[in-house]
Structure 1
Amino acid sequence: MAEITHRTIEVNGLNMHVAEAGSGPLVVLLHGFPECWYSWRHQLTALAEAGFHAVAPDQRGYARTGGPQRVAEYSILHLVGDVVALIAALGEERAVVVGHDWGAPVAWHTAQFRPDLVRGVVGLSVHPRPRTSRPPVAVMREQFGEGFYMVAFQEPKRPEAAFERDVADTFRRTLYALSGDAPGMLPVVPEGGSFLDVCPAPERLPGWLTEDDIAVYAAEFAASGFTGPLNWYRNLDRNWELTAAWHRAPITPPALYIAGERDMVLAGPGVKERLSRLREFVPDLRDIVLLPGCGHWTQQERPREVNEALLAFLRGL
């Protein structure tokens, strides 16, 4: 099996930690919330063995990279700028950019803003969506209420206090509750409560997740905490303002979308209709891969199927 190595690279004023494996064409792997490089452990080795240079950073605010204190420094322009700077710092002119969960919007926006740098783009779980006509937090508040998790995350300090109280328990609950092995959840925080209140503790872990995996996540987050990751959510309305110049702009590089059929993202209102019309917005969408029985943690729950789909896409570029 290919070896995963670690180093720190200066990127946009950050000392960005990256895990990497292999050599060849560059594939950048962008994690989601609340994850880090470790969520790509199965892909790093598979891509390396197939002849690619796979690089998974801890993104801005996360784990060993850490980040600035100011909320405003976690906008989508900062996040895409980090990817652009990382590609250059790795000595490359172009890359395939792959993202899961929050990493998917970063990947889609990188392809939209800088198609000259992106050989191909892959989104896992979160599909690309055109910019809305109104700021998103107000829309979510109207649709789902004050307790909807993205709205609840706008409040300072309280969400991170809940996540940081017992970091291992946080990962045990969130990784199970959003998986295809759990009964399903409604991500609405009870008044005065936290996101973890809607994430049941598993009686036993699903087969794809071990206590050792949970220990790695807990250790990676021990120093940096959750404020940086939550600041991504606190820029949702600011991102809407900053992306006005790209309103309805298409995503033109070759693209692939992968999701689990039991992912709560697919259960959202209007999602299936948007997927059926995705090529209007992503004209070179090569395929949509939906994985039966799979939940939100796509590349961890179904590593073999995800690796096969990724490699087929990469070889077709």
Structure 2
Amino acid sequence: MTEINHRFVKSTSGLNMHIAEAGEGPLVLLLHGFPECWYSWRHQLVALAEAGYHAVAPDQRGYARTGGPDQVDQYTLLHLVGDAIGLIEPLGEEDAVVVGHDWGSPVAWGAAQLRPDLIRGVASLSVPHRPRGSMPPIPIMRRMFGDGFYMVFFQQPDLPEEGFERDLTDTFRRMLYAASGDSPGIVPIIPEGGSMVDVCPAPDELPSWLTEEDIAAFVREYDGKGFFGPVNWYRNMDRNWELTAAWHRAPILPPALYIVGDRDMVVAAPNAREGIAKLTDFIPNLQEPIWLPGCGHWTQQERPKEVNEALISFLDSL
């Protein structure tokens, strides 16, 4: 069995980042989402290593063993892309393929858009590239969905973190189940006085892809670390819009792959499927998107075999 090793690597961004890694060969950076960590890629680290790649899954800025600054404005997309790009040189490579899931996807898309000279290919699970709009996103979401919509709710200080940190085991049990293809689904509107965890149903039993050991692993990684850093990614959404004006509607040129579950709440959003159909307008070298029947939001955890096969085929094509 291929072993997953752990160490800290200082990104050229200045952040000392915890990484999980396996294998030797061309570098593949695996960028997790919210509320996750390196462990989300446990199945891919081994599979990519055995296929001849150096697979590296960092805990990103603010997360788990990496941690991060105390200032909210230090969690912009430019910081996050800088962290990821900044791992390439310390890992002894000249370029990399970036693979993102959930919030890791905008980081991967951004890395390919901002530094195509360093990115040989980009793959995204769940979240498609969203071209920069004409207005900041939070006021639009507030107008469309109200103050209770989770991304708007997360703009508040302290309150979102308190809900997540009240009982870490309950938080991960509910959230990992609720957004999966095994759940009846959720409406991410936070009730007054409530939390994100409150809108996530607790499973009667865990789905086949998720074990008590998996939940305990996430709890261990978050214990004592908290959710301040992770929630700060959301608090910078309008700031990201301001800072990326120079790349307004800029294309993403490296070869690209997009994988999504047909029960993912991301593609249930208004106009989401129409946007996916038009991705090649901005990503000219995008392969035909891969849809996974019955799969929810936790793509690489729910469908590791299919995701591994698709990623390895894409990597080999490069």
TM-score by length of 1: 0.99
Whether 1:125 aligns to 2:126 is: yes
Aligned Cα root-mean-square deviation (Å): 0.6
The corresponding residue for 1:5 is: 5
Q: CA deviation at 1:298?
A: 0.1
Hey, what's the Cα distance between the residues in 1 that align with 2:148 and 2:169? 24
CA contact 1:171–1:214 (8 Å) conserved in 2: yes
Hey, what's the Cα distance between the residues in 2 that align with 1:188 and 1:102? 19
The corresponding residue for 1:98 is: 99
Hey, what's the Cα distance between the residues in 1 that align with 2:233 and 2:242? 15
CA contact 1:255–1:287 (8 Å) conserved in 2: no
Query: Match of 1:112, as an amino acid?
Result: Q
The corresponding residue for 1:260 is: 261
Structure 2 residue runs of 5 or longer lacking an equivalent are none
Q: CA deviation at 1:13?
A: 2.5
TM-score by length of 2: 0.99
CA contact 1:124–1:257 (8 Å) conserved in 2: yes
- The 5 Å alignment of 1:100-115 reads 100-115=101-116
Q: CA deviation at 1:224?
A: 1.2
- Deviation track 1:124-170 (CA, whole Å, cap 9, x = no partner) reads 00000110100000001111111110000000100101100101110
Q: CA deviation at 1:2?
A: 1.1
Q: 1:287 aligns to what SS in structure 2? A: coil
The corresponding residue for 2:287 is: 286
Q: CA deviation at 1:223?
A: 2.0
Structure 1 residue runs of 5 or longer lacking an equivalent are none
Q: Which runs of 4+ in 1 moved over 2 A?
A: none
Length, aligned pairs only:
317
Q: 1:189 aligns to what SS in structure 2? A: coil
The corresponding residue for 1:244 is: 245
The corresponding residue for 1:156 is: 157
The corresponding residue for 2:211 is: 210
Query: Match of 2:2, as an amino acid?
Result: A
Q: 1:89 aligns to what SS in structure 2? A: coil
Hey, what's the Cα distance between the residues in 1 that align with 2:288 and 2:317? 11
Whether 1:225 aligns to 2:190 is: no
Q: CA deviation at 1:10?
A: 1.3
Q: 1:191 aligns to what SS in structure 2? A: coil
Hey, what's the Cα distance between the residues in 1 that align with 2:239 and 2:60? 19
Hey, what's the Cα distance between the residues in 1 that align with 2:152 and 2:89? 35
- Deviation track 1:31-86 (CA, whole Å, cap 9, x = no partner) reads 00000000000000000000000000000000000000000000000000001111
Hey, what's the Cα distance between the residues in 1 that align with 2:259 and 2:188? 22
The corresponding residue for 2:316 is: 315
Q: CA deviation at 1:218?
A: 0.3
Q: 1:258 aligns to what SS in structure 2? A: strand
